[in-house]
């Protein structure tokens, strides 16, 4: 494989992860000039693999090379906030961690951040130092969507059970029995609603039970939830807020609510957007 083919392969790998790559990201990843990047982008467009944009290039979804999920509509809601939360949460993963990742769309953004970090780290000394930790990280998940994003970059175990097509994940007795037998150093979970009064809630019994078991089996519990979930209560309760160690959320929580949340002992990490 010559240099040009290697560069094309690296850009396509990053495109499959995030869907778009800016000129500046490609320069950093490939360590080449802007003119070289633009020539590469032009070739990918000519080959029908991607389309150039004002600031970079995007994957052609019609090509069928980028995964699509049955919960795409949910993923698109507050996408910018979820992306920022996922990127910030990625920094909480440390060398040697055994991590559980749930099947929610905000945790999916964490998986995107992991894959993006590793893909870019392959061609960047600065990014590589952070990406190297994933050689010693083990991930467990019940989500096919998560698996498809990170399987090329980290050791990942898919927890099986009864398949739910609308969520592309697994649940039920088998899932729960496996989770009961695993110890996680960290878990990253979502919630359909969370509050000081009513804790963490989910919209279905299977998800609530899985997250309840994961919380019980983890050293550190990290909730990824944007501010639209704050103060909301869904159907099934599965954890007190005091059981959660860290909340990663976007800016916008008022001072009074922040104080009330802090009183539970939870660490609050707010993103820049």
First to last CA, the chain: 41
Instruction: Please indicate whether residue 219 or residue 121 has the higher confidence score (pLDDT).
Output: 219
Q: What is the pLDDT of residue 227?
A: 93
Q: What is the pLDDT of residue 68?
A: 37
Confidence of residue 29 (pLDDT cuts 50, 70, 90): confident
Q: Are residues 143 and 42 in the same domain?
A: no
Q: What is the pLDDT of residue 126?
A: 52
Q: What is the pLDDT of residue 64?
A: 36
What does the block give as tokens for 106? 């905000």
| CB burial string 207-246: b at 16+ within 10 A, e below | bbbbbbbbbebbebbbbbbbbebbeeebebebbebebbbb
Instruction: Please indicate whether residue 71 or residue 114 has the higher confidence score (pLDDT).
Output: 114
Confidence of residue 122 (pLDDT cuts 50, 70, 90): low
Confidence of residue 147 (pLDDT cuts 50, 70, 90): very high
The domain that holds 188 is classified in CATH as 3.40.50.1360
* Residue ending a domain, choose from 19, 39, 63: 63
Q: Are residues 195 and 218 in the same domain?
A: yes
Q: Are residues 130 and 260 in the same domain?
A: yes
Phi-psi domain of 66 (left: phi exceeds 0; alpha: psi -120 through 50; beta: other) = beta
Domain that holds residue 190: 72-270
Which phi and psi angles does 104 have, rounded to 5°? Answer: -75, 165
What does the block give as tokens for 104? 């929610």
Helix (H) or strand (E) holding 246: strand 246-249
Q: What is the pLDDT of residue 66?
A: 38
Q: What is the pLDDT of residue 17?
A: 66
Q: Are residues 264 and 156 in the same domain?
A: yes
Q: Are residues 38 and 126 in the same domain?
A: no
What CA–CA distance (Å, rounded) separates 166 from 263?
37
Q: Are residues 110 and 12 in the same domain?
A: no
Residue 97 has pLDDT above 50, yes or no: yes
What CA–CA distance (Å, rounded) separates 211 from 232?
18
Tokens 């639209």 appear where? Answer: 228
- The dihedral sign for the CA sequence 8, 13, 16, 17: negative
Q: Are residues 207 and 224 in the same domain?
A: yes
Q: Are residues 46 and 133 in the same domain?
A: no
Q: Are residues 141 and 256 in the same domain?
A: yes
What CA–CA distance (Å, rounded) separates 139 from 155?
6
Ranked by mean pLDDT, the top range of 24-28, 129-133, 184-188 is 184-188
Residue 265 has pLDDT above 50, yes or no: yes
* Residue ending a domain, choose from 63, 90, 105: 63
- Total count of domains within the chain: 2
Q: 32-48, pLDDT tens digit by residue?
A: 999 999 999 988 888 77
Phi-psi domain of 200 (left: phi exceeds 0; alpha: psi -120 through 50; beta: other) = beta
Q: Are residues 21 and 82 in the same domain?
A: no
Q: 77, exposed or middle or buried, with CB in 10 Å at 0-12, 13-18, 19+?
A: exposed
Q: Are residues 156 and 229 in the same domain?
A: yes
What CA–CA distance (Å, rounded) separates 116 from 29?
11
Q: What's the average model confidence in pLDDT over 13-27?
A: 80
Q: What's the average model confidence in pLDDT over 207-214?
A: 96
Q: 176-186, pLDDT tens digit by residue?
A: 999 999 999 99
The domain that holds 27 is classified in CATH as 1.10.10.10
What CA–CA distance (Å, rounded) separates 123 from 171?
38
Instruction: Please indicate whether residue 110 or residue 121 has the higher confidence score (pLDDT).
Output: 110
Q: Are residues 140 and 176 in the same domain?
A: yes
What CA–CA distance (Å, rounded) separates 135 from 210?
27
Q: 245-264, pLDDT tens digit by residue?
A: 999 999 989 999 999 999 99
Residue 62 has pLDDT above 50, yes or no: no
How much is the mean pLDDT over the chain? 87
* Residues in Cβ contact with 87 at an 8 Å cutoff, skipping those fewer than 6 apart: 109, 113, 271
Residue 13 has pLDDT above 90, yes or no: no
**In this predicted structure, which of 42-46, 157-161, 220-224, 225-229 has the lowest mean pLDDT?**
42-46
């Amino acid at each position: 494989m010559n240099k040009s083919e290697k560069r094309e392969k690296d850009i396509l790998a990053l495109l499959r992860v995030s869907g778009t790559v800016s000129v500046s990201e490609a320069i950093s990843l490939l360590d080449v000039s802007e003119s070289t990047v633009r020539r590469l982008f032009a070739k990918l467009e000519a080959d029908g693999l991607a389309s150039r944009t004002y600031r970079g290039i995007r994957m052609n979804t019609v090509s069928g090379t980028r995964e699509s999920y049955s919960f795409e509509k949910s993923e698109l809601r507050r996408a910018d906030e979820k992306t920022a939360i996922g990127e910030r949460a990625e920094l909480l993963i440390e060398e040697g961690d055994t991590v559980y990742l749930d099947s929610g769309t905000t945790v999916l953004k964490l998986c995107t951040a992991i894959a993006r970090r590793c893909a870019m780290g392959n061609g960047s000394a600065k990014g590589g130092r952070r990406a190297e930790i994933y050689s010693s990280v083990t991930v467990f998940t019940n989500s096919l969507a998560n698996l498809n994003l990170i399987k090329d970059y980290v050791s990942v175990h898919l927890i099986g059970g009864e398949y739910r097509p609308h969520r592309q994940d697994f649940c039920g007795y088998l899932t729960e029995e496996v989770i009961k037998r695993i110890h996680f150093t960290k878990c990253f979970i979502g919630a359909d609603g969370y509050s000081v009064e009513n804790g963490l809630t989910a919209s279905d019994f299977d998800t609530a039970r899985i997250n309840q078991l994961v919380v019980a089996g983890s050293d550190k519990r990290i909730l990824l939830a944007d501010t639209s979930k704050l103060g909301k209560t869904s159907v099934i309760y599965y954890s007190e807020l005091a059981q959660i160690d860290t909340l990663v959320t976007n800016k916008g929580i008022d001072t009074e609510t922040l104080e009330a949340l802090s009183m539970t002992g939870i660490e609050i990490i707010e993103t820049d957007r």
